[in-house]
Amino acid sequence: MHEIWKHRVEYLLISPFFIVFGIFHGYPLVWSLWLSFQRWQGIGEPRWFGWGNYERLLTSDKTWSALGNTLIFLATLLPIVIISTLLLAVILNSPRVIGRRVFRALFFLPYITSLVIVAIVFQLLLQDNFGWINGILRSIGLAPVSWLTEPGPARVAVMLMVYWSLTGYNVLIMLGGLQGIPPELYDAASVDGATAPQKFWYVTVPMMRGVIVFVGITTTIGLLNLFTQPWLLFSSTNGLGPEQSVATLNTIQYSTAFGSQRYGEAAALGFIIAILVIGASLVQLRVGRLTEV
């Protein structure tokens, strides 16, 4: 206590952060954990339900179907995002690219564009009968695709929208990492006779390992918490899509809470999602450390 009183001014200066964090993050987190063991429909007193909410979720086909969709999105998009954004960043970092600053701004523009507007544009592009993409397919003699009414194409539509939204931010992060690589390393590689692909594999990739892990973790967190894109693109089905093909854990959580008024069960699902996110992040950190050896 003497040490705390000795540094009371410093503690006073940093206290606003902890006060705000406690009110808006700490307390809601503890309350939602307590709620996950309750049965509550938003009215009346919550009733203790123990592990019932978790058991109900883990034995529900809807939960496992949503988890399967989420893992499909993750397994498909994660490698595509990491590889493509790294390659795009390398291209945009090259002094040989004319107008590269303009291209950097254009790539980042989708990230700051409202997802509501993006969803409207994608619906216009992918609409079955009058969509622009199906119109192009018909014009070249190909059969139209039911992007918004069949399970497989619906997943592709969501992944296209997610990728289009995420690429700009991740390219910017990759660019920052590339510009932190000392040019002397490339000069030394040139003296040793390394080709451009060899420089990329033996200089760029190892020096970018930390940035790649960061992009992988943030992308994984975003995909495991995927909600906005399927919800907006398939708003008529509450984000479930045809035959629940694009339902994610977060869309199920929203429907459980605000559609069925099962708030305790929705809170429990939130902690299940949190465990998945933490576990996936720890695995990626572990893999990143192992590759350093």
Phi, psi at residue 60, to the nearest 5°? -95, 130
Q: Residue 48 forms beta bridges with which residues?
A: 38
Q: Looking at residue 291, what is its pLDDT?
A: 65
Q: Does domain 62-290 have CATH number 3.40.50.300?
A: no
Average pLDDT per 10 consecutive residues for the chain, totaling 293 residues: 74 87 92 94 89 94 94 95 94 83 83 89 89 91 91 94 91 92 90 89 91 93 94 89 93 91 94 94 83 58
pLDDT at 277: 94
DSSP string, 233-274: HTGGGTT--GGGTT--HHHHHHIIIIIS--HHHHHHHHHHHH
Say which DSSP state 105 is in. H
| pLDDT for the residue 174 | 94
Q: Residue 108: its pLDDT value, please?
A: 85
Dihedral of alpha carbons 112, 116, 120, 123, sign:
positive
Q: Which residues contact 66 (CB under 8 A, 6 or more apart)?
A: 244, 247, 248, 249, 251, 252
Whether 154 contacts 246, CB under 8 Å = yes
| pLDDT value of residue 75 | 95
pLDDT value at residue 292: 61
Q: Which residues of 66-98 are buried (b: 16+ CB within 10 A; e: fewer)?
A: bbebbebbbebbbeebbeebbebbbebbeeeee
Structure tokens at 153: 């194409």
Q: How far apart are CA 93 and CA 106, in angstroms?
A: 14
Determine contact, residues 263/40, Cβ cutoff 8 Å: yes
What SS3 state is found at 39? strand
The total of other beta-carbon atoms located within 10 Å of residue 245's CB is 21
Q: Name the residue ranges covered by the structural domains of the chain.
A: 62-290
